[in-house]
Chain A
Amino acid sequence: MTGAPPGRPKSSAWRHVVLRLVFVLALPVVLVTVWWVASDGSEDVYWPPLRTIVSAFPDVWTGERWRGDVLPSVLRLAAGYGLAAVAGVALGLLVGSHRRVRAVCEPVLEFLRAVPPPVLVPVIMLFAGIGDTMKIVVIASGCVWPVLLNTVEGVRALDPVAAETARSYGVTGVARLKDVVLPSAGPQIFAGLRQALSIGIILMVISEMFAASNGLGFTIVQFQRGFAIPGMWTGILLLGLLGFALSVLFRLVERRVLGWYHGLRAATRR
């Protein structure tokens, strides 16, 4: 795993950390530099110099914008994503544990998953209106499928020896779900949650482009319509940074919850 192996001298451990940082940062630095240099002095309205975009950033993203646009977007994402995670795992446990239920549900699930979630926006607007509810429903209805299907697979993949152990020691019912089935499916569930996160961000933006009065997606479209091109670019940059931050956060949570799994994998590789 990361970090220096025990027994290595301290200076070498430091060099290891620095080296890792260099590896992580090298490509982003190169790309930003290339963008900066290549766009510098650009006269094209649609491709403003990166210098202009960066200097516009603090003017555009004032405290008021953070409160009025970024926060509502993030809250809607959190609500929709959380709803999808809970529903996906709960339904996944149900479908995955019963062969008959699975046989009935599987074709329908595959179909529903195959429907591109953005096309649901106009439909969901019809009954959920154009408020926060609509956006949350759109995000949840797109995020739920990868979580659900991965949970089903994870539950099905329960080791037969683990299942027999649980049975022979009378570990049944809720305890079996909580202490055996759910943790054993954990790695798969997290794979689903990771896919769902990127889908969620996409749907957050798309739902705000259709009908909204605030939010990141709304703001970016407003800038584009108002020909405030540098402002539009700052919004896109902010979205990218938001996605990056969420994925780092996700990885931290995953490392913590699935610590046993990474340890186990490292142990079997040895």
Chain B
Amino acid sequence: MWSVVKSVLAALIGVQSNQKREEDFSSGRPAAYLATGVVVTLLFVLLLIFLAMMAAR
């Protein structure tokens, strides 16, 4: 689970080591990456909304 989250976060900033990528493609299930990706993106959007609300206060 943690390794999936780490891979998704790495994808978010666009940096990933080759070795890790190969591990991801050989082991985990694609659905787990997709679901984590959606959740992390939503969290990121919520974080931005929160920051914008803080700034607008």
Q: Do A and B come from one complex?
A: no
Interface residues of B (CB under 8 A from A): none
* Chain A residues with a Cβ under 8 A of chain B: none
